[in-house]
A and B are shown apart, each in its own frame.
Chain A
Amino acid sequence: MPHPKERPGPWSRSSRRDFLMKSGGAALALSGAAPLLAACSNSTTTSAASSGGEAVGPGGLPLARPDKRVTLPLWRDPIESGLEPETGGEFVVYNYPAYIYGKLLKDFGKKYGVTVKVAPFDDINSGIAKLASGAISPDVTEMTPDNLDRVVAGKLIMPLNLDYIPNLKKNVWPSLADPFYDGGSNYGVPYTVYSTGIAWRTDRVKEDIEGMSNPWDILWQSQAYKGKVAVLSEPRETIAMALLRKGHTDINTEDPKLIDAAVADLQELYDICNVKVGDLQYETIPEDKAWLNQAWSGDMMSGYFYFLPKPSVGPLLRFWNPGYGKGPIQNDMWSICANTKKPVLAHLFLNYMLDNGVAYSNFVNFNGYQPPLTEINPEHEVSKGVIPETLANCILTADDLGEDSLQEMTLTTTGQQLWQNGYSEFLAGA
């Protein structure tokens, strides 16, 4: 099996079909030709992706898991080292709305003589769809590890030259400087990291959630908080929570029986608490519009930093996550768009966002979602008075990631359909 870097290039002149047919060598060798051929055809089927005994993602590449490292093949050579950054004109950052500190972008633009603009997308899936359609040509894009397979196979992002990004090795947790889902960081660098758990207000929710034998149960015991309970409006997170509650730690399962059972459990929440779905818990909990939510760790940090209606609410906020190997931990990334006209500057932007000062400022002055920097630790942030001790568990450390950590990763196309249909059933409210 040839190493991806040993395959003949350049890839830039080949089509996606060529890429998959000729150059997905590693994937082909690992998983058999059928899924890639299916991916290359104009077949109307959307079924994916498992053959030869090993499942592959929509892009035909092996499925990365915390205990199964994947190195993504290079579809073209990275840019040469030592080039001067491009200057002038616009530099477009493709990202969730309000997910990066505007001042930092201005500073970057000033430093390199460009006007930095943010092109927002609603969610990563619609963002990728728009990117793939060619309707937008940003320079860098926010990305998630579970989507790497398809954006690499679709040639939407370009390989990185890490010579331009020294901050990756210097400042970032080792597990994310060379992550299992992108061995060698061929296509992206981490941006933020967060865990999934439960957020609540202690003036409204009286139970000792952290002391419960299975804290996820609180959502199924929340009759008293009817109308004030919500789960995330994310198919993966919502169903994964129901799986974890029942002790199933394979949150990338494609077993229809497990998914069906998880959906049935979620449907119990209609009668228990008339559960809501939404991703505004960083705002609704501090503002007392919601009392008990499935939430990301970054939400309570944002809520504490920016959405307290009065300071006295701060000490009321709490967050619980299951901890290493028991609950989801995710990270977002930055990647460089394949069509950028400013590839060198794009590399420098990735490096800039991993600068200790810049990343920390983005965290505490705007975003609330922490960067995976080795210099950030909960004790330090509490002692500095940045966050209260009651929210110290919102800050993660390098020890929260490892081979046993639970991360929602790429599914086969069939698996994605299964999860989406399950969530659709939950959302139907019947």
Chain B
Amino acid sequence: MYPRWLWPTFAAPGVIWLILLFLVPFYAVIGVAFGSVDPILGFAVPAWNPANWNTGWVTQVLGELAPGGIYWDVAVRTIEYVVISLAGCALIGYPVAYYIARHAGRTKTLLLILLILPFWISYLMRMLAWVNLLAPDGYVNRFLIWSHVLTSPYGFLDGQSSTVIWALIYGYIPYFILPLYASLDRIDRSYLEAARDLGASPFRAFLHITLPLSKTGLLGGAVLIALPMFGDYYTPNIVSGAPTTSMIGNQIDLYFHGGPQPTIGAAITIILSAFLLILMGYYLWTIHKATKELRSI
């Protein structure tokens, strides 16, 4: 018989990690959002004690996030970009994950390695590589002109929303495919065989068995990439640079990077986090529901 404390001890490093590297910094951001600014040097002075919180910055930002406010359009644009990118990731990523999980055969390991390969290169480097590829004299334009699709270079980098969305898809899709693949790979094939035995077509079997059972993987992948996408500012900076394609993360960057109002940057951050908590809550609720259903079988 093992002592009761033994197994929880195994979780200790993870818990300490979470407290030190997530909860404490996040509370610091909350403290900054509800804190003040050093009147001379302009750096943030966090209010650690909730009794001393100044709600002014957060209410100011909430007001500006309402329709007609300074941040309304950029917030709506951010949501649009993220939703379209998520849809793009699902459309491209699902078939890839499905193929690897079901049909890759001997090449499965190789394909998984190829899938992990982008993680070896920093996100920033991959984006910068695209800048060169998409430049007026880059390989993409050269190919399109060579193949007579275009007669002159297309301005992919001229502040296009589509370029930002494609870059987001490209940058985040590996993080989407991996959990989805894991989810598809775990599906018991006997369910599908049973469906086929009962007369379901391959498409109906997919629709009624595979798709519902991969829902947690889809949601997991979506949450995994939606969270960083909402705070992304370097992707639009690198592949566009136009204010008309900026995201809410660019506003956070502006206020945190300097000037007398880091508190506004922190306030936007925690409001964004609160919004993302809703997505996270839905994901957790779905997982909980799925687990409950599995236990009841």
Give the interface of A toward B (CB within 8 A).
16, 20, 38-39, 41-46, 48, 58-60, 122-126, 128-129, 132-133, 150-151, 153-154, 156, 226-228, 230, 235, 270, 274-278, 288-289, 413, 416-417, 420-421, 423-430
Whether A227 pairs with B73 at a CB distance below 8 angstroms is no
Please name all residues of chain B whose beta carbon is closer than 8 Å to the beta carbon of A227 when the two chains form the complex.
155, 157-160, 242
Q: For the complex, what is the distance from the CA of A153 to the CA of B35, rounded to whole Å?
A: 22
Instruction: Establish whether residues A274 and B39, one from each chain, have CB atoms under 8 Å apart when the complex forms.
Output: no
- Could you name 19 residue pairs across A and B whose Cβ atoms are closer than 8 Å? A44-B54, A45-B39, A128-B41, A132-B43, A227-B158, A227-B242, A274-B158, A274-B242, A278-B241, A289-B136, A416-B259, A420-B260, A421-B261, A424-B254, A427-B251, A428-B71, A428-B243, A429-B73, A429-B243
| Pairwise interchain contact B261-A420, C-beta atoms closer than 8 A | yes
In addition to A46-B37, A46-B260, A274-B158, 15 A-B residue pairs with Cβ atoms within 8 Å of each other are A16-B40, A43-B36, A46-B263, A60-B40, A126-B257, A132-B38, A132-B41, A132-B43, A227-B157, A227-B159, A270-B243, A274-B242, A276-B241, A416-B260, A429-B242
A41: B residues at CB distance < 8 A: 39
Tell me the bound Cα distance from A237 to B258 in angstroms: 15
Partner of B77, one of A20, A226, A413, A429: A429
A150–B42 Cα distance when bound, in Å, is 9
B70 touches A428 (CB 8 A): yes
In the complex, the answer to whether B246 meets A420 with C-beta atoms within 8 Å is: no
| A58–B259 CA distance with the chains assembled, in angstroms | 11
Contacts A274-B159, A424-B251 given; does A125 touch B259 at CB 8 Å: yes
B43 touches A274 (CB 8 A): no
B151 at the interface (CB under 8 A from A): no
* 1/0 contact string of B52-72 vs chain A (CB within 8 Å): 001010000000000000111
B130: Cβ under 8 A from any A Cβ:
no
CA distance in complex: A69, B151 (Å): 59
Task: Give me the interface of B with A, judged by CB distance under 8 Å.
Answer: 35-43, 45, 47, 54, 56, 70-74, 77, 135-137, 155, 157-160, 237, 240-246, 250-251, 254-255, 257-261, 263
Contacting pair A46 B40 (CB below 8 A)? no
* B243 and A129 form a contact (CB under 8 A): no
Residues in chain A near residue B244, CB distance under 8 A: 270, 274, 429
Contacts of B35 in A (CB 8 A): 44
Complex A-B, nearest 5 residue pairs according to Cβ-Cβ distance, in ascending order: A125-B258, A227-B158, A430-B73, A429-B243, A44-B36
DSSP class of B's interface residues: helix, strand, loop or mixed?
loop
Residues of B with C-beta under 8 A to A153: 40
Pair A276/B159 contact, Cβ less than 8 Å: yes
Chain B residues near A288: list those with CB within 8 A.
136-137
List of B residues within 8 angstroms of A275 by Cβ: 159, 242-243
A85 → chain B, closest Cβ, in Å?
Answer: 30
A270 to B254, CA, bound (A): 19
- Are B159 and A424 interface neighbours, CB within 8 A? no
Q: How far is A45 from B261 in the complex, measured between Cα atoms in Å? A: 11
How many angstroms between the C-alpha atoms of A262 and B7 in the bound complex? Answer: 63
Nearest CB to that of B237 among chain A residues?
A: A278
Complex formed: what's the CA distance from A255 to B259 in Å?
A: 18
Residues A429 and B36 in contact in the complex (CB < 8 Å), given A289-B136, A417-B261:
no
Q: Looking across the interface, which residue of chain B has its beta carbon closest to that of A151? A: B41
| A413→B260 contact, CB < 8 A | yes
CB distance from B234 to the nearest CB of A (A): 12
Complex interface: chain A residues within 8 A of B259 (CB): 125, 235, 416-417, 420
Q: Looking at the assembled complex, report how far the CB atom of A360 sits from the nearest CB atom of chain B, in whole angstroms.
A: 31
Chain A residues closer than 8 Å to B261, beta-carbon distance: 46, 417, 420-421
Known: A43-B39, A230-B241, A429-B245. A424 touches B70 (CB 8 A): yes
The complex places the Cα of A151 from the Cα of B40 at a distance, in Å, of 8
